[in-house]
Amino acid sequence: MHNSEFRSFSSIFTLSVLLIGLSLPPLFAQDATKPEQGEEQEKAAVIPDEPKSIDPASLVHPSLAKKATVEFDEATLAEIKTWLEEATELPVVIDIAELENDGRSIHDEYSDRLNDAPIYFLLNRLDAKQLSWYVNDEILYITTELALAHLLETKTDPVGDLLDAGFDETSLLEVIFSATPGPWQDIDQEGGDAKLLGDVLFINQTPQLHLRIQGLLTSLRNHGKETYSFEPEQHQTIHQRLQEPGTIDFQNEPLFRVVQSLSEQTGLDIRLDEQEMRNDGRSPRDTASLSIKNRKLKTILDLLFGELNLTTVVENGTVLVTTELAATSRLKTVVYNISDLCKSNSENMGLMDAIQSQTSGPWQEIDQEGGDIVFPRYDVMVVRQTETVLAEVRTLLATYREAIKLSKPRQKKDDSNDVITHYYKLDTAISEELWDSLWILIPEGKVEKVDGQPENLGRVLVFPSQSTLKQGVVGNSKAGHSTADIALIPQSTMIITHYKKIHLQIEELIKRIEAGDPPVGSTSEERPSRGRQNMGGGQQGGYGGGGGFFSIPTQ
Q: Indicate whether 124 belongs to any domain.
A: yes
Q: Indicate whether 362 belongs to any domain.
A: no
Phi first, then psi: give them for residue 326, nearest 5 degrees: -65, -35
Q: Which of 149, 166, 191 is the last residue in one of the domains?
A: 149
Contact between 426 and 463 under an 8 Å Cβ cutoff? The reply is no
What Rg do the C-alpha atoms of the chain give, in angstroms? 31
**Angstrom distance (rounded) from CA 216 to CA 198:** 20
DSSP per-residue codes, 155-182: EEEE-HHHHHTT--HHHHHHHHHHSS--
Contact between 52 and 226 under an 8 Å Cβ cutoff? The reply is yes
The per-residue pLDDT for 410 is 66
Contact between 326 and 273 under an 8 Å Cβ cutoff? The reply is yes
CATH of the domain at 464: 3.30.70
Q: List Cβ neighbours of 233 (8 Å cut-off, separation of 6 or more).
A: 53, 55, 57
Q: What is the pLDDT of residues 26-52, one digit of tens each?
A: 333 333 333 343 343 445 568 999 999
Q: List Cβ neighbours of 103 (8 Å cut-off, separation of 6 or more).
A: none
Q: Indicate whether 188 belongs to any domain.
A: no
Q: What is the DSSP letter of 470?
A: E
Q: Indicate whether 345 belongs to any domain.
A: no
Q: What is the pLDDT of residues 309-368, one digit of tens each?
A: 999 999 999 999 999 999 999 999 999 999 999 998 889 999 999 999 999 999 998 999
Contact between 76 and 109 under an 8 Å Cβ cutoff? The reply is yes
The per-residue pLDDT for 3 is 38
Kindly report whether the peptide bond that precedes residue 51 is cis, defined as omega within 30 degrees of 0. Answer: yes
Q: Which of 546, 538, 463 is nearest to 511 (CA)?
A: 546
Contact between 511 and 441 under an 8 Å Cβ cutoff? The reply is no
Contact between 554 and 482 under an 8 Å Cβ cutoff? The reply is no
Q: Indicate whether 376 belongs to any domain.
A: no
H or E, element range at 234? helix 234-242
Contact between 338 and 227 under an 8 Å Cβ cutoff? The reply is no
Q: Indicate whether 494 belongs to any domain.
A: yes
The whole domain housing 113 covers 56-149
Give how many domains the chain has, as a whole number. Answer: 2
The per-residue pLDDT for 471 is 56
Contact between 488 and 468 under an 8 Å Cβ cutoff? The reply is yes
The per-residue pLDDT for 45 is 67
Alpha helices, H only, 407-486? 428-441
The per-residue pLDDT for 43 is 54
Length of the chain: 555
Packed helices 207-221 and 169-178: angle between N→C axes, nearest 10 degrees:
130
Q: What is the DSSP letter of 47?
A: -
Q: Which of 544, 547, 543, 518 is nearest to 530 (CA)?
A: 547
The per-residue pLDDT for 215 is 98
Packed helices 345-358 and 11-18: angle between N→C axes, nearest 10 degrees:
150
**Angstrom distance (rounded) from CA 63 to CA 90:** 8
Q: List Cβ neighbours of 378 (8 Å cut-off, separation of 6 or more).
A: 342, 343, 344, 345, 347, 348
Angstrom distances, CA of residue 124 to CA of 78, 131, 145, 316: 17, 9, 11, 7
Alpha helices, H only, 307-445? 324-327, 345-358, 364-367, 387-406, 428-441
Q: Which of 123, 149, 175 is the last residue in one of the domains?
A: 149
Q: Which of 88, 117, 149 is the last residue in one of the domains?
A: 149
Q: Indicate whether 468 belongs to any domain.
A: yes
Q: Which of 5, 3, 271, 240 is nearest to 113 (CA)?
A: 271
Q: Indicate whether 180 belongs to any domain.
A: no
Q: Which residues of the chain have pLDDT under 70?
A: 1-45, 409-410, 412, 470-485, 521-555
Q: What is the DSSP letter of 191?
A: S
Q: Which of 117, 129, 123, 130 is nearest to 317 (CA)?
A: 117
Residue 341's Cβ-count burial label (10 Å; 0-12, 13-18, 19+) is buried
